[in-house]
Amino acid sequence: MKKPPVRNRTKPPAKNAPKKTEKVPVAILISGRGSNMRALIEACARPDYPAEIVLVLSNRPDAPGLEVAEEAGLKTLVIDHKPFGTDREAHEREIDAALQASGAMLVVLAGYMRVLTPWLVNAWEDRMLNIHPSLLPAFPGLHTHEAALKAGVKEHGCTVHLVTSGVDEGPILGQASVPILETDTPETLAARVLEQEHLLYPDVLEMICDVFAK
């Protein structure tokens, strides 16, 4: 007896529908609210955007960004650093195992507030991105907005770079700047820079994913 023919019940795409693209699997590491992660989630929701978030991982169980990711239907995982004490590499080996299991090809740091050891950095060499709130190489490290105002520079901004063993020293992938106003405080300056971060990070990730997809 012959089997009945299988009917394709999928509707043909609309003529003006956005073109779908092959997506690069990406994992995001957070420690807090995940402000930049929100911008990346919105970008990845577009059919024509070349990245797909396969995991959101935090070192803090109370990170507000975890709830944001879960509400977006993303897989989340907590690997708390506290039980590992001072053994950072042991903590990072657990993280690496989770990243590998997720199938991620790229790792994006979005407010991940831990200095990484050379072990994890080397494991993801040229595949780990970070965003920093200054125009690197100016003002690496913390308190960048206060430092920019104190230095009296005319421009400030943000930088997306590859992660290397040196803090905020990796190759620069993209930057966005804002003028510093006479009335600026660290808070007002930070708010304007953050707006640029939310635009820059998705743009740079898209550029990197396009390279990976080729």
Residues annotated as catalytic are 132
**Phi and psi of 194, rounded to 5°?**
-60, -35
CB 157 within 8 A of CB 178: yes
What whole-number distance in Å separates Cα of residue 95 and Cα of residue 157?
A: 30
Q: Rounded to whole angstroms, how far apart are CA atoms 117 and 95?
A: 12
Cα distance between residue 128 and residue 177, in whole Å: 23
d(CA 99, CA 134): 28
Q: How far apart are CA 153 and CA 195, in angstroms?
A: 19
Q: Rounded to whole angstroms, how far apart are CA atoms 108 and 200?
A: 13
Who contacts 7 (Cβ-Cβ below 8 Å, separation ≥6)?
none
Residues 6+ apart with CB under 8 A from 169: 137, 140
